[in-house]
Each structure stands twice: as C-alpha cells, then as structure tokens.
Amino acid sequence: MPRDLAQIPEESGGSPAEQLSWPQDISHEPTLKIGEVRAMVSGEFPFLAASKIRHFENEGLITPYRTPSNQRLFSLADVERLRFILIEQRDRYAHLAQIKEMLRQLDSGAATYEHPARMHAVDGGGLAAVRPGTRLSKVELSQLVGVSIQKIESYITAGLLTPDSRGRLTAQAIDIVRYAAALEELGMPPRQLRAVHTSAHAHAVALVNMLALERARKTPLAQERVLAATGELSALLTHYYHALLMENIDMELR
C-alpha cells in the first residue's frame, strides 16, 4: 500500500551504492516471466498490459534482469515496485516524473516507506491531484497515463476523446486512455471502442434529460440533487451493462 516518504537523518549511515534498489526487504532473485508478473497483480490491475510494464522499464522505473537470450525476468521486489507505480498512477494521478523521483528517494535511502495511505507527493507542477473539471493538455495526459502523444492523437482521430476549443481534454480522459490502451493491447480495435463511446454519449444525454425539470430550477439544492441523481443513475446503468455483458459472454461460450 502507498506510504509516506519519511526523511531519514543523515547520521543513520549506510552508503546508497551498497544498498539494493527498493524494496530492500523483499527477494531480488529474478525468477518471474512478464506473464507471471501480470497474473500476480491482476486482482488489483486486471487491465495491465505487458507493453505498459515494458514502458516503465524504458523510463527507468523498473529494471528486470535480462537473460543471455534477452528474456526479461522479474523478482518479487520488482513486482512490489510495479504495484507502487500503478497505485500512484491510479490513486493519486501522479505522473511518471514524480514517481521516478519517489523511487529515487526510496532507492537511495533518502526516504522510507511508512504509514499506509498517506504518501507525500513530490512536487510535479500541480499534476499530482487531478480534480473533476480539470483540463489537460496532450502532453500532461501522456505523462499521467504513460502512453505516447501519438497514441492520444490516434484516439482523438478515432473519436474516443473530444478535445475542447483549446485542444485540452477532461480529467476523465485519464481513465479513458488507460482502458482504451489496455483493451487495444488485448485485441479490441478503436472502431469497436468507438461504438462503446457512442453508446455512452447516448445514455449520458438520456440521463441528463431525465433530470431536466430539476436542472431548470437552478438552485444550489436542486444542483446537489442533480449531481446525486446522476451519480446514482450512472452507477446503476454501469452495473446493468456489466450484468448484460457477462450474460452475453456466458451465452457465447456455451
């Protein structure tokens, strides 16, 4: 679980060069293939793609062992390090530069990993906490999600993302890109994802229209009721869609 980076006094001793990369108290023996790593974290991150793990390696966040045949092998410490990266991205919208700095502090012994769920984010230009209503540039979105700007532009071209007049994207684009990239990695082309996008838009219009009378009142209380109602309706619709999807998958597999 995410934890505070607590400063260690300089007199604590120990040379960073003599230390293993963080986490030091977990086995660093490379025994796991990339598919086994994905299986180990699939309960928390079911859509994690191998390409994303490789991207983290290219960014210097994880360093798997390479066999003479150039196969990647990961240790249990690598798996915990990967979980740390994914949790920071998912729960705090930390971008890769922030996470890299956090890991550098942990690796060097300049910080420790304590006090669950209260990690102090490293300053990253205001991108650590993306709130609803925030607008993101393609560069900011790329840093937050860990995909290329070209990939984001391809999703805009495919109609999966809709930039505003200034070319900026909503905070929801973070999850849209994450899940779209994971589904594409598993073989679902953007044209099929576009059909889901179109359906979501139609249902969003229907939900908003259901609340037209309440929206017309324009009082603070009415606005609160609209927000509560849209949250409840969207959650019910999501669960309904999930049930339908699982039923149809079950029928197709018979």
pLDDT in tens, 197-253: 999 999 999 988 988 888 888 787 777 787 778 878 888 888 898 899 889 988 998
- Rg (C-alpha) for the chain, rounded Å, is 22
Would you state the pLDDT for residue 156? 95
> Is 17 a residue whose pLDDT tops 60?
no
Among residues 128, 66, 64, 75, the alpha carbon closest in space to that of 101 is found at 128
Q: What is the mean pLDDT of residues 143-155?
A: 89
Would you state the pLDDT for residue 20? 81
More confidently predicted of 221 and 166:
166
Q: Please report which confidence band the pLDDT of residue 169 belongs to, taking 50, 70 and 90 as the band edges.
A: very high
Would you state the pLDDT for residue 19? 61
What letters, b where the CB count within 10 A reaches 16 and e where it falls short, cover 69-91?
Answer: eeebbbbbbbbbbbbbbbbbbee
Peptide bond into 23 cis (omega under 30): yes
Question: What would the pLDDT profile of 123-134 be if each residue is shown by its tens digit?
Answer: 334 344 556 678
Q: What percent of the chain has pLDDT over 70?
A: 84
> Is 148 a residue whose pLDDT tops 60?
yes
> Is 12 a residue whose pLDDT tops 60?
no
- Which range has highest mean pLDDT (102-116, 136-150, 212-226)? 136-150
